Amino acid sequence: MSNEPLNRIPTHAAIIVDGNRRWAKQRLMPASLGHKAGFDRLKEITRYAVGDRGVKVLSLYVFSTENFARDPKEVGYLMDLFANNFRTIADEMNERGCQVLFSGRRDGLQPRVLDAMDYMMDLTKDNTKGIVNFCLNYGSRAELTDAVRSIARQVQSGALDPENIDESTIESHLYRPLPPVDLMIRTSGEQRLSNFLLWQCAYAEFYFTPVLFPDFTKDCFDEALAEYARRDRRMGGNSKK
C-alpha cells in the first residue's frame, strides 16, 4: 500500500509510541532492546510521514512526565538513546528541510539530552517543509498547568485583562503554536490518551491498532491514513459527506 495516493492527508498527525517493552518481552529480550527497536522504527516512520506522505506536523509521544517513575536503569537507557540519536535525526531532517521541535518540561532532563535537543532545534529552526515535534518529559496536564500559570502572571502584572482571556489566549501559551491534531494514532492495543495533547485533540480522529510499535511499518501507517480518509469529520457541525 505504501505510496498509493490518498484523498485526504492529516495536517497534524500524532503518535503515542507504545509497546516497546511488550515487544521485547514476547521475544524474551531485555526492555532496552525493545526501546532500541522502537526508536529505529520511529526514525523510519518519521521520514515516511513528513517526507513521503506529506504530513505537515508529526507529534511523537516518546517519554511522558510519568515515565520517570520507571526503573532508573530503563530511564537511563532511554536518555542515552535520545542523546545518542537526536543529532543524527537532526541532520537528516535538516537535509529534508524539516524543522524539529520539542514539547515538554526541560526540568529533570540530563544535560546531554538537553544539548542534543537544542542542537536539533537550532539546526532546523529555519526549515519550512514540515515539523517533527518530539514530546519528551511531556504531560498535557503539566502543559495546561504551565499555560495557566503563565497567563496568571500576565494578569497579575496588569499586562492582561481577565475578561480578554479566550481559547486563543490559552493556545498561545501552550508549549508550541501547532495546529490542532487531526489524527491520533496509538499502537499496542491500548485505547486511551494517557495525558497526551488533551487540548489539541479536541476534534481529532482516533486510530487504535494492536500492532506493537517496533512492528508498526509504513504499511501500518498507511492503514491509519486510509482509515482517516474514510472518516466523516463533523467538527461539531453537520456531515461533510
Annotated binding site: 18-23, 35, 64-66, 68, 70, 186, 192-194, 205
**For helices 218-230 and 31-46, angle between their N-to-C axes, nearest 10 degrees:** 60
Q: Are 108 and 68 in contact (CB under 8 A)?
A: yes
Q: Cα–Cα distances in Å, from 8 out to 60, 228, 229, 235?
A: 21, 8, 5, 16
Tell me if residue 94 is catalytic. no
Instruction: For residue 192, report the phi and psi dihedrals to the nearest 5 degrees.
Output: -155, 160
Query: Per the residue annotation, which of 18, 133, 137, 182 is the catalytic one?
Result: 18
Q: How is the beta sheet containing 99-103 ordered, strand by strand?
A: 99-103, 131-138, 57-64, 12-16, 183-186, 205-208
Annotated binding site for Mg(2+): 18, 205
Tell me if residue 67 is catalytic. yes
Distance CA 161, CA 151 (A): 10
For residue 109 the three cell numbers come to: 532532563
Annotated binding site for substrate: 19-23, 35, 64-66, 68, 70, 186, 192-194
Q: Which residues are catalytic?
A: 18, 67
